[in-house]
Structure 1
């Protein structure tokens, strides 16, 4: 155990700390969060349009009219997520260099549309969603870097002080913006001369499809969960670090499911962003510790642990588990290392199998806020009560795995609580 800890501290933690401090990964994380309120808007109306009992309340014709009326909510938000991510990358990355972020954002979106092919005089919606995600990220980062370098080299038009600030800033962005967009116009022309015809299809075939297949597999997911748990064990925010790397893959998988769900097709992916959040993080926080809170409240005998359970209970309902992580504690506590690492792995494998064989529904791609309580989040993510039932079963699995270790902690806590009483009796004698 000591050798394992030494290896992790020496080799894993430095890499994790560097990833956590990476400007590009932090920008990518913030960019996905930019789209969060918009995707929640679309998710709510998708859930409303697909409530399982609607077909009992209205005819098929009226149901089709309702779905048609609510469809633009998703089309203008969730199915255009790539556009919002590009906007965020352009804004946050440009701003990180102390350059006007709004111009970096606008130029990034323009560059993305510039390399996006037209179909029947318009842009296909899938290019703005799952299929265009990796192109959007690459274009967002590249355009922001080209733009900021042009600005920093002084390729700007400086206006007299008497000119209004808004006008002066626009002229200042003119040359850098022109240079940036010219680069992407050249990129579009070059790819039009290849068999792929455009950069979207090139990235989709050569980069995105292999990465999504790899990231959507069970083995890759288990590795990601292990890394999240290990980083948290050492006091680092595992989700922030790991998600910043894998969110592009998981969100792309979610969008593919959502597009299929909207079209009434079979859902293609088990592993999605909702699978990760609803069946790992969503079960009372990282490590699925809502089951641990339940055990502290109703199983252990130690006064200290029971009080911790009472303190952690309200936040655990909304999937916040810092009271357990730092109060039990889990961080740097070898007594709980095994259940902390093992329980999420077992639950992920069990959940994957249940969905693969059809005993549990696959997440539809609808965005569910991570603070939605257990059972309800599973229902919303899958549009099925069985999604919530699966979460309850998962909590029971975590409870069983943790129980022997919690009993050890309970016994040690009881021994410590009994010591002061023994010392008091000795003094009285």
Structure 2
């Protein structure tokens, strides 16, 4: 039965990987990732302005207005920036299909996208412009602009529909004229579209989209909608495909709009009542990572786990897991494709978010109104993002208890299996004598000696730059740090850096080796196109191998040497 279950999931995996690696979905996801600093930056000013309200302190109106200037001209223009970042990321993908001598100019695409979006979203007034839809409410329209314009450029550049100047003209001037026709076509297209919508509907496209999708926005805040979102992320991850990379692009506009609406309600003295905010996904559904695995590493450290394997996983995973980096648990246990954990892995995030909705809808607790970094420990993040709502402390305590109760029976069943296997193996060793153990110890000693020799006689004779890519920059940061520490200790010409996939991908051209984490395996074909373009070596990793590399600097260095 278990084998049949695994086979069925394995058949679905290629389809999920294809969805995750879709060029347009990737552009939307990566465009949003690029804009995350704007969201986090603006949230700092919001917290300074409004968090003191929880303790009865209110800034003078003049001070509050000064603090909100940074928010209004960063988060208030978020959709404008996302139009540019989305267009830029799709342009990078389109350029992979064009000759190196005839590429789309990303800067021109960004300019065209932002001009087009301003035309599309700004509402002219007698005394200026209404910028309502330049912010969170215009995100879906921003994605449309960001996905359409690179295609217009691609058609023009590929078919040489450009103004060509003699070769004697300097390159920078020639490029300006080359960009003129695709830019004009892009802006004209959205100018006509804006007029069309105004005549047909009496409003602009962003407002029209919000009205059409408002039932979907409301449905996503229901028990069923929240459960589907939470379970879908866990299900995709269970199949080995990074769940948030598929689900998040579809719901980000809703989450951001709801977070902004919650703050507005809170400012008016009303309840922040929209359940699905940005940090609802980060802290509530993914309480310690997808599958709400925060408690799992700590349970493995307790007396509940008797097997050496799970205790070792617990030691390696509890610190990263506290900061929502749960790959050590997912790959070390393993949970992915492990039928024993299928039910709790999907059920726990659903229970967490439904309980959160109960606290918000029934008990009147404020929902999330600030956007904090996803790496903040979830219990702390929930409390802060709800502006220290008193009931949030109760909610966090209940979630910790419920998550333990859900995971414990399945953990004990799996641990018992591993423990009995370990006992059987130990008895087998005793029966066969200590010869095997002695040989194993000798081999381990030889491996350590060999490793030391390799470190003293490293193959890295010239400067080597390594980029590690994972989903959120968490485990890749651990691996890069391990490599950098060893390089410093051994005085090796090695420098490693880490990024979330889709973030600062231009770095690749300066690298010698790119290591792709297993959670982003669905992106390996897309990444290969980029690394081949810059003649950079790209290697993938398996789950256990990757976690071992993050824990062992010497092994990581050996891996780099073997693959450089």
TM-score (norm 1): 0.91
Instruction: Name the structure 2 match of 1:168.
Output: 174
My pick for the range that moved more, 98-107 or 148-157, is: 148-157
Query: Shift in Å at residue 4 of structure 1?
Result: 5.4
Query: Shift in Å at residue 138 of structure 1?
Result: 1.6
Distance verdict in 2 for CA 1:240–1:388, change over 3 Å:
farther
| The structure with more strand, counted as a fraction of residues | 2
Q: Are the equivalent residues in 1 in contact too, given 2:226–2:350 (CA < 8 A)?
A: no
Aligned partner of 1:122 among 125, 128, 131: 128
User: Distance between the aligned counterparts of 1:54 and 1:223, measured in 2?
Assistant: 33
User: Distance between the aligned counterparts of 1:25 and 1:428, measured in 2?
Assistant: 58
- SS state of the match for residue 18, structure 1? helix
User: Distance between the aligned counterparts of 2:76 and 2:176, measured in 1?
Assistant: 31
Distance verdict in 2 for CA 1:353–1:132, change over 3 Å:
same
Residues 66-81 of structure 1: pairs in structure 2 closer than 5 A: 66-81=63-78
1:335 lines up with 2:332 in the alignment: no
Instruction: Name the structure 2 match of 1:309.
Output: 314
Q: How many residues align?
A: 422
Aligned partner of 1:216 among 212, 221, 242: 221
Instruction: Name the structure 1 match of 2:230.
Output: 225
User: Distance between the aligned counterparts of 1:101 and 1:250, measured in 2?
Assistant: 28
Aligned partner of 1:148 among 154, 166, 173: 154
1:239 lines up with 2:244 in the alignment: yes
Aligned partner of 2:105 among 87, 95, 100: 100
User: Distance between the aligned counterparts of 1:55 and 1:350, measured in 2?
Assistant: 26
Deviations for 1:309-337, whole angstroms, at most 9, x for unmatched residues?
11101111111111110111101111222
User: Distance between the aligned counterparts of 2:278 and 2:56, measured in 1?
Assistant: 31
User: Distance between the aligned counterparts of 1:80 and 1:369, measured in 2?
Assistant: 20
My pick for the range that moved more, 412-421 or 285-294, is: 412-421
- SS state of the match for residue 118, structure 1? strand
User: Distance between the aligned counterparts of 2:156 and 2:206, measured in 1?
Assistant: 26
Query: Shift in Å at residue 294 of structure 1?
Result: 1.3
Q: Are the equivalent residues in 2 in contact too, given 1:297–1:309 (CA < 8 A)?
A: yes
Q: Are the equivalent residues in 2 in contact too, given 1:51–1:383 (CA < 8 A)?
A: yes
Q: Are the equivalent residues in 2 in contact too, given 1:34–1:84 (CA < 8 A)?
A: no
Aligned partner of 2:365 among 339, 360, 380: 360
1:384 lines up with 2:388 in the alignment: yes
Q: Are the equivalent residues in 1 in contact too, given 2:301–2:314 (CA < 8 A)?
A: yes
Instruction: Name the structure 2 match of 1:280.
Output: 285
Q: Are the equivalent residues in 2 in contact too, given 1:129–1:255 (CA < 8 A)?
A: no
Query: Shift in Å at residue 274 of structure 1?
Result: 1.6
Query: Shift in Å at residue 53 of structure 1?
Result: 5.9
Q: Are the equivalent residues in 2 in contact too, given 1:114–1:184 (CA < 8 A)?
A: yes
Q: Are the equivalent residues in 1 in contact too, given 2:88–2:110 (CA < 8 A)?
A: yes
User: Distance between the aligned counterparts of 1:122 and 1:156, measured in 2?
Assistant: 35
Instruction: Name the structure 2 match of 1:374.
Output: 378
Query: Shift in Å at residue 111 of structure 1?
Result: 0.7
- SS state of the match for residue 165, structure 2? coil
Aligned partner of 2:294 among 280, 286, 290: 290
Query: Shift in Å at residue 79 of structure 1?
Result: 2.2
Distance verdict in 2 for CA 1:359–1:256, change over 3 Å:
closer
- SS state of the match for residue 123, structure 1? strand
1:20 lines up with 2:20 in the alignment: yes
Query: Shift in Å at residue 354 of structure 1?
Result: 1.2
Instruction: Name the structure 1 match of 2:51.
Output: 51
Q: Are the equivalent residues in 2 in contact too, given 1:360–1:390 (CA < 8 A)?
A: no
User: Distance between the aligned counterparts of 1:25 and 1:216, measured in 2?
Assistant: 23
Query: Shift in Å at residue 124 of structure 1?
Result: 2.3
What 5-or-longer segments of structure 2 have no aligned partner? 96-103, 435-564
Aligned partner of 2:418 among 413, 416, 421: 413
User: Distance between the aligned counterparts of 2:204 and 2:342, measured in 1?
Assistant: 49
Query: Shift in Å at residue 191 of structure 1?
Result: 2.3
User: Distance between the aligned counterparts of 1:55 and 1:284, measured in 2?
Assistant: 28
My pick for the range that moved more, 265-274 or 39-48, is: 265-274
My pick for the range that moved more, 292-301 or 410-419, is: 410-419
Query: Shift in Å at residue 357 of structure 1?
Result: 1.4
Q: Are the equivalent residues in 1 in contact too, given 2:368–2:385 (CA < 8 A)?
A: yes
Query: Shift in Å at residue 355 of structure 1?
Result: 1.3
Distance verdict in 2 for CA 1:395–1:54, change over 3 Å:
closer
Deviations for 1:280-324, whole angstroms, at most 9, x for unmatched residues?
22x221111111111111232323322211110111111111111
User: Distance between the aligned counterparts of 2:160 and 2:430, measured in 1?
Assistant: 80
Instruction: Name the structure 2 match of 1:199.
Output: 205
Distance verdict in 2 for CA 1:170–1:215, change over 3 Å:
farther
- SS state of the match for residue 88, structure 1? helix
My pick for the range that moved more, 324-333 or 239-248, is: 239-248
My pick for the range that moved more, 32-41 or 133-142, is: 133-142
My pick for the range that moved more, 43-52 or 211-220, is: 211-220
1:131 lines up with 2:137 in the alignment: yes
- SS state of the match for residue 285, structure 1? coil
CA RMSD of aligned residues (A): 2.3
User: Distance between the aligned counterparts of 1:347 and 1:133, measured in 2?
Assistant: 27
- SS state of the match for residue 60, structure 2? helix
Query: Shift in Å at residue 54 of structure 1?
Result: 8.0
Q: Are the equivalent residues in 2 in contact too, given 1:216–1:250 (CA < 8 A)?
A: no
Q: Are the equivalent residues in 2 in contact too, given 1:233–1:330 (CA < 8 A)?
A: yes
- SS state of the match for residue 50, structure 1? helix
User: Distance between the aligned counterparts of 1:4 and 1:246, measured in 2?
Assistant: 29
